[in-house]
Each structure stands twice: as C-alpha cells, then as structure tokens.
Amino acid sequence: MNHQKQTRRPHPASPTRLMHIRSPLDLDQETMRTLGYRVTDVVAEHLASLRDQPVLTQLGRAEADKLLAGPAPEEPVAFDEIMTIFRERIAAHHAREPHPGFMAYVPSCPTFPAVLGDWLATGFNFYAGIWKVAGGPNEVEVVVLEWFRQWMGMPEGSAGLLTSGGSQANLTAIVAARHAAVGDDATRLARLVMYSSDQTHSSVTRAGWIAGVPRDQVRSVPTDAHRRMDAQALAKQIGLDREGGLIPFLVVANAGTTNTGAVDPMGEIADLCERENVWMHVDGAYGAFAALTPAGRTQLAGMERADTITLDPHKLLFVPFECGCLLAREPARLAAAYRLYPEYLKELEVQGTEVNFADFGEQLTRYSRAMKVWLSVNYFGMKTICEGIQGAMDVARHAESVVRSTEGLEVLSPAQMGIFCFRVKPEGLEDGAELDALNARVLDAINAEGPWFISSTRLDGKLSLRICVTGYRTTRADVEGLMATAVAVATLQPSQ
C-alpha cells in the first residue's frame, strides 16, 4: 500500500480559488450563537416562571391588529426590538399549554429536551421523507416507531410514520383503508360505510368525508352507560348495511375518547372486524400512551389487534406540537395507498429495509419529528417519562376523590386516563337550565381567575365541567384549589 501523502488539487470552485461573497442571509457563527442564546433565555425564563403567569390571556382580533398588523418591513428590525415585540405583543397573549393549571381540552406539556430536539431537527433542516438524503434522521424515526410498536404491543413488522398530529394520522389510516376496500374500482366508493362511536373525535368523521365516504355512511354507533361503543349495535348495523348492498370497510375504535377518556371494547371490536373482514383502526390520539402505565395497559388490551393505531406524542408523551403517529400492522398497505415515484424522483426509490417515509403518507417534504421524541426519551429515560404519565392520571383521580367528598360538587364521569367530568350542584337545584347556567357561570369565573383554564362538555344533556390532566406540572394542590374555587364561586353566584 502506498502511504505517501497525496497532494490533492483544489476543486475549481474551492475557496482557495474563488472569493466567496457571503450572502447577508448567511449569519456568521458568533451572531448565530448570540441570537440563539437570547432565544433560549426567553424560552427558559418563560417555562421556569409558568406558575406565576396566568394560564390564558386572550386577545381580540381588533386589538391584535393594532398591535401587530402592518406591511413587511423593507429594512431590518433590530433583534432586541423583535424580541420585545415577541414578548409583549405576541407571547403575552396566548394559552400557556404547559402551565400546571391548563386542564382544558387536551393540553400539551412538552419537556425542554423535546423542545431542543425540535430545534435540532429544524436547525439541521433534515429532510425526513427520503432515506437517501437523511439516513441518520430516518433511522431515528425507525427507532422511535419501533419503541412505539413495542409499547403498544403490536406484532413485529408493524411500522408507520410520524405525522403532524392525530388528525393527520386518522386521515392517513382512513385513506389507506379506503384504498384497500376500493382498489381501482371507483364504483365501490359510493357504497362504502365506516363506523365509529357517538363519542368519536371529529377528526375521524372529517377524515371519512375527505376520503370520499358518503357523509350519511359515516355511521355513528351508540354507546353504553360508560360511553363505550356498543359492539352489539355495531354488529347489527354492519349486518343491515351488508343486506342493503353497502360495503362496510372500516371500524374506528376509541382508545380514550376526548370527552371522557372512555375506551371502546377492543377485544369485541377486533373479533367482529376479523369475522367481517373489516379494517380496524384505533384512535389512540388521546389515550394510547396510557399503555405505558399498568392500569392503562389492562384497559387498552386488545388494541394491539388493530390494523392501524393513531398515537399523539404531542399529548401524553410530552413533546411539543406537532407530533402524531400512525402505526400499521402491515405497512405495505399504507404504501399501496400512497407510494408514487414520478420521473423526477425515480432515483430516490428504496430497496430492502431502508425507509422512505414519504411512501406511507401524503407528505413528501417532512421534517424530523422523531428528533424531539428521541431526545426527550434519551434525556430522561422511560422510567421517568412513565412516572410522568402515571402522575397525571393520579392527579385526575385525586380530583375525583375531592369532588366525591365535597358537598355541592357532583361526579358526572369518573377519572379515566386523566379526564374527569364534574359539576357544581347545590342542594335543591335539580337538572335543568338553571343548573346548567350556574355551571356555565362557574366555568367562566374559574377561567377568569388566572391560575386555571378548564373546559366543558355535555353529558346526558347536563352541562359538565371537564378537566384533562396530561401535564407533569399539575399537582394535587392545583386540583384541590380548583375545586375549592368552584364551590366558592357557586356559593357566591346568584341562582338566576
């Protein structure tokens, strides 16, 4: 072997030959560091002082226009001034999802390392759709999906992709199920029927519409007293539809409904789907990560038999928006619906075990959502993350026990997977408009206080106050304070 040093001739366009003129868009390293640290300081200060901030500061459109509207500046604005505008006119007016008192809807409470993972993904601008241009980041997504597969108990070989959120994951699954049912025979489309419970998230219904399922064939199946899909009613409806010449192609089961955290009877639905040869999709956007707790694992048993499962790491896995996930028992069925290589992309096709995530969904250009999951999980380890999930569920259960032992409060739906529904119910005030109006006033008063933001729903016609604890900052003392405030406000409110 020749160990003599080779003298390399410089490339014709190398810096030794040409004077490169730096674009003003291309910042030098020191400037990037200075700006980056400034932003880090702003975020760190914000997160560390959350408890001292109000949960929600709203801003009306007219006021917002006054603060921010205007033409794009022709000349640069000083970074100091940009940050001042950000802090005072933008960040000052929003709902602080990671706040310990944010218990409305489904909060997202990211860890700081997960935020940094997102920053790395965008800092490097990884192109996570195609293996050839991002082997490292794509392998991270493969790894993260494999973690999820194991946590959900799906069989080996199941895989999928990360998505913008649960809505996109549901849509990706439903389009794949439609393709499996219709193939190239478009005449079948008008006869497709899909089923989900009357508690199912609106994104499922909307995905059915987008997928071209006739709107009156997106069926809503009744639920039992625990708001779980009635599997017998489902079986009956499928039978009736077949008799009517329709094509039942998809059942969507809930692994934690948004309303109350209810879990549909997974085993019964899986049996039925097998018998009927119907695609089973599980919407676990809210609750599937509860499988990382002992009680959740038991409650969700049977979910792993689904053809596809939606997960939302930006909910219970403590990563920032946007991060959803679709897992498929047979990823080839996703590829059958989505894979497409025009002439200008031919050389990017993959063989063997390398993965082009663009093959499994509608996004070609996609950023590496896996980085935030991977970084947070590595930083903390799963023991701590599982304890965080368990802790959130425990706080919701504690809220339930406080309500059960407090006069003037009533449980409307027990704590399930961190969601708990209750209302104020002073003695002598029965169901009806007056009691609903009182609860509406209590809701407004609680949200006006500052430390809490909760939402409402309607259960069996009753206006219900609803909390959803998915964050690791919310403590027992927070929900105790909330319940005490509810009682105090109800007591002070005039009954009319």
Compare residues 106 and 328 and give the one whose CB is closer to ligand PLP: 106
Compare residues 167 and 439 and give the one whose CB is closer to ligand PLP: 167
Extract the tokens encoding 253: 């089961």
Give the chain's length.
Answer: 496
Taking CA atoms, 428 is separated from 33, 209, 490, 495, in Å, by 64, 46, 13, 11
Compare residues 207 and 292 and give the one whose CB is closer to ligand PLP: 207
Instruction: Give the shortest CB-310-to-ligand PLP separation in angstroms.
Output: 7
Compare residues 103 and 182 and give the one whose CB is closer to ligand PLP: 103
Instruction: Give the shortest CB-314-to-ligand PLP separation in angstroms.
Output: 6
Taking CA atoms, 327 is separated from 43, 137, 276, 288, 400, in Å, by 33, 18, 22, 12, 33
Instruction: Give the shortest CB-48-to-ligand PLP separation in angstroms.
Output: 27
Instruction: Give the shortest CB-487-to-ligand PLP separation in angstroms.
Output: 29
Q: How far is CA 74 from the centre of its chain?
A: 38
Instruction: Give the shortest CB-320-to-ligand PLP separation in angstroms.
Output: 12
Instruction: Give the shortest CB-165-to-ligand PLP separation in angstroms.
Output: 3
Extract the tokens encoding 335: 């590829």
Compare residues 303 and 424 and give the one whose CB is closer to ligand PLP: 303
Instruction: Tell me the DSSP string of 85-108.
Output: HIIIIIITSSB-TTSTTB-SSS--
Compare residues 148 and 286 and give the one whose CB is closer to ligand PLP: 286
The binding site for ligand PLP (CB under 6 A) comprises 106, 165-167, 201, 203, 258, 283, 285-286, 312, 324
Instruction: Give the shortest CB-164-to-ligand PLP separation in angstroms.
Output: 7
Compare residues 165 and 451 and give the one whose CB is closer to ligand PLP: 165
CA distance 322 to 106: 14
Instruction: State the distance between the two ends of the chain, measured CA to CA, in whole angstroms.
Output: 95
**Other CB atoms within 10 Å distance of the CB of residue 188:** 14
Q: Residue written as tokens 């069989």? A: 155
Q: Which residues 6+ apart lie within 8 Å of 465 measured at CB?
A: 421, 422, 423, 424, 439, 442, 443, 446, 454, 456, 486
Asked if residue 322 has a cis previous peptide bond (ω within 30° of 0), the answer is yes
Whether 174 and 338 have beta carbons less than 8 Å apart is answered as no
Instruction: Give the shortest CB-174-to-ligand PLP separation in angstroms.
Output: 12
CA distance 129 to 163: 11
Q: Residue written as tokens 């599937």? A: 288
Extract the tokens encoding 152: 């959900």
Compare residues 201 and 366 and give the one whose CB is closer to ligand PLP: 201
